[in-house]
Structures are given as structure tokens and as C-alpha cells.
Structure 1
């Protein structure tokens, strides 16, 4: 038990530097406090897994009520351009496998990964098939193989992906790298070179663009084409699917999908959206100044498609299928007027 949130994330980063990917967790206020250290991990390209169990905010807010209002800080919570990975599991079983995925991504891409869940999932009891531990358990012990030369920030690395070697690894050249939160050259030495800063920013960006190209698009629950597509993330999955089943029995043309990979998003989502006349993003957060929630804002920014609209609420309660369908019908009626 660390003395505070800043110490916790710093200890986790130190563990990752030593060769063992570490996990730290909190809720929204804790993520705010951890943000500076997360920015350091982005700059140093240090693997890290951070879990945020969202609750209603801001500040202490409603500490025992659910909300999905930490998406923006999870994606952008650090000064400067600080790309990181954000994954939102949809249920208890998904949390188990997402944790494994998060560690693997953090190690492969040398990047912080934030697992964004919420109070509705964290307090839920849910049965799922026993995992095959022989398949999912991995040996991720650090290796200390001697290196002839080693540059932890090699600009010629394929897709910008490089990895650190744990302290104690012998480098035959005698040139050992430095780890710092300052902008740096390929050996980690601090620099203010405009050329190197531009190249390093591109390196940190390109590796997540590579990750996006490897992600699988989420499956559509229902037909691949129709009138309405509901999009959600996290704990909205169950309510959305029940809404789709109920509406389709009544003859409506409606489907849904749940997004797990929020930052970066998988390539090809626009091809799914093209199959529907209306795309409504169901979230438990405020509609904001522009009339749509946080995931909806990311989707509109990425695809510049005005048919992507938000369905939002902030009462601290999970969505009921009747509420989703009522709001969906209100949206359709407004579109016809």
C-alpha cells in the first residue's frame, strides 16, 4: 500500500523499468493525480498498466454511483502529446482477459495501457467459464542476454517499436542508455534538438498506429446493415443488446456494437457505420457543450460524420432497455421533423 496515488504509479513504473510490468489502480480522482507520471511513462516509453474504475464525478462526486465520464482524461490526461492505449472491458469475464491483453500490449509496444472499467462492472457478480490457465498463463520474466549495442529509442526500428532491457543487462560496447522524462536521443540522453523531438514524437505515434492496424473491428450484434446502430462501451453492453432484441421483435431495424479499444481505435469502423442511416452512441456521461458524450465526441472527430449522435444520462444508474429505446425513438422523431 503506497502512501498516495503519485507514489503508487511511480512505484509501478519503477517495477516496469526493472523488467516486470506492474499494475496500479484507482478511480477518477486517482487517475488525475497519476497523470503526470503517466506522461513520464509515455516519454520514457515505459510499459505500465493502469486500471480506472470510474465513478460519478467530478471531484469526489457520487463515490458509490456509476458513470463513464473518465474517457477523456484516460485518452488525453497529460500535458503535451502523450499517446497511450485505452481499453474498456464490457463485463466481468472481459475484465479477466483484458488484463492479460493490456500487459501484452504494454510489453510489446512499450506504452502505458489504461483499463477503463466502471462501478457497475466492478461490483457485479458474474459467472463465466473457467479459463484454460495452461493457455493463458505466460512466463514474462525479464531476460538478461548480453547485447553488443543497445539503443532503447532506435529511430530506425520497424514501426517505431522498441523495448527496454532490464538493469543488469551487459552491453559489450560499454555504452549504456539513460532513462529520462526529458526529450532524448536514441540512447536516452536529453536533447532540445527540434529535429530529434519531431522524430521522437512521430516514433511514439507510429507504434500506436501499428497497433490500430492489428486490432479487430468489433462485431455487430444484429444485422450488418439497417436503420439504427447503437454504439456503447463498458457496462452498457448488456442493456444495449437487450434493447436490440426487444426492438427487433417489434419489427425495428436496429443493431448494436460495443467498442473495447478506444485509443487507438481499430481501422475499418467507418465501413460498419456506412451500413446504417443513424448511429447513436449510448453513454453514461454528460452531453457536454456540443450535445454529445465523450466517446461520441471521439468518433465525430475521427470520422467527421454528423449522423453520429449521442444518447446520454448522468443519474448515476445503469441504462435500462426501456430508457435506451425511448431515447432512440426520440432521436428518430427529431430527425424526421
Structure 2
């Protein structure tokens, strides 16, 4: 019989589990705080619980944390990438980013994975190269933040302040676990991370965006667009382009209206593919009537893909064109590319940090088929 993953359970579910063992309900509160607030990974260390209960929990449940296989620090010292091994041997990568601010609280952002691979098949993303993968549980997502929080404290920071679901996988393709993890991380008896400090990124699954609109949470939402016409987007993002841009933008407007949160569009620039002033004008037209912020990301290296970032002059011209057309735009400061921790570079790896395997992308995902 498989053990129950207690880190994935909310307070109500944990109470039901504890009372099924014949224990009083208040024990669930003690156990919940140990797991969600203290990041406990050993029942025997929970001294506020009776020894008999600890023994039964050890037999029937688990609070094991993923194991850190490898740590890489960027040369700039502002980014750390961790390779984690889950309890079944699956491996994922996650990233910590440190922002030191003058006369303000420092920010530490944890970039978490929601799947151990991805089915969206984006032609510029290393995660998409892995055909064998699974969804992560809510507990496995929470565990990444808890591991990052410990590391941040060890480095002299005051813990994790922000969370972005921008690691491996498509979060909205694992929506139930992602929602549960958000609620666990936001819990006052847990890590107590504010909803406005959590951002979920998506390739653009319109029905799931609409579902999120009705959660009643003030979560940030970032939509990976990368093309302002359906034909090019289909070539760049075959899995995500199932929903046409008109449907995607309608879902984004609904999220803005119901959540009250301003959305971000992520737009990676690929040399000779989506980087012309005409492309910028198409993007501006698509976003007409919205207050969406466009985050421009010069493409990051991926050996298997025949893509590269445009020259800096082209990037500047693209941003300038958007500004002239009254689109709010910012150029993302690149972090962690030297340790393959930047956008589109996370993947399964061996203990030595090498990719589990390489698969060449077929052709260049350009304007022509």
C-alpha cells in the first residue's frame, strides 16, 4: 500500500486523515504546522506529537522532501539552480533569484516546476525535449519552495518572498495540484506567502485561464505569447496554439476583470523569426484596449534548437516600436544563463548536470513551414 503524501493535504484533508486514525482533530493542526510552516520531513522529530502517533504516521504516511542532487551558482551570484530528485526518482530543476535593494527589503524569488517535463512542445524550450514526464503533486511543488526557503535563510536572507510558476512544465495542465499548492503556500499556518506575490505562467490554455478567473485569488498571471499571429505561434508553440489568439485574449480580459490583476505577456525574441517592427505592430494591435505589460526576453541558448537572440539593436528597436504604439514594455534582465537557469533552459539532468538526453528539434521554427 502506498503511503499518503501529507505535504499535499490541506488542513481539512489532514484532519480527516488524522481522525481516521482515531486521533483527536487538534492533532491535525499540530501536524499541519510542522509540515507546512516548519517544513518537517521526519515524523520522529515532531516532539509535540505522541510517540505512538509518530510511529503510525511513519507506517502509513510520508513527509519526505526531494533530495538536492546538484547546486549551481551563477557567476554574478544572483541566481542558484537546484537539481532535485523526487521520491520516485524523477528529477526536476528549480531556480532561486536574489534581488538586493537599496533602502528596501530584499526580494528572493523561487521559480518552481509543476511537471517533470512538458507536452506543449515549444520549439525553443529544453523542458519540451522530454517525452516521458508526470505531473507533480501539490506537496512536491510546496517542497521546492520550502527547500528554497531554507537555502535563502542559510545565505543570510529572510526567506522566500515571491514565487513564480515558471519552471519545468505547463502549470495550467496540472491545474488542481497547482491550485492546491498555491492555497498551501498562502496558508497563514504555513509559509503565508501573499497571493499577490505569486505568479503563474502559462503557454495560453484559455479554458484554464477562465477557470482561474473564478478562483477569487489575486494571483499574477503571465502569458507566454511569442507571436502575434496564429500561424507563426503554431510553429513556435504547437501544443499551446490549440487555442486561437482571439480566444486567448478573451480569456485574458476575463481574468483581468475578475481578478483585478494586471497581466503580463512574455515575448521571447528570436533572430529573424518574430523580431521585426511589423511584428511589434501586430503585437500592439493584438493588445489594443488592454493594460497588459509586455516582458521582452531575448532568446536564451538551446543547443538542440536552431534559434538565437537578435542583435541588441534589433531588440531595442522592437521595444521602441511598442512604446511608440503606447504598449507598456520592459526588457527582462537576463539571469542565470551561464548555468542554464534562464527562461527555456530547465530540463531533466544527470547527477553531473548533463542533460538526460538530447533530441534535435526538426527544422527552424521560422515564418515558413
Which TM-score tier does this pair reach, normalised by the shorter chain? Answer: under 0.3
TM-score, normalisation: structure 2: 0.23
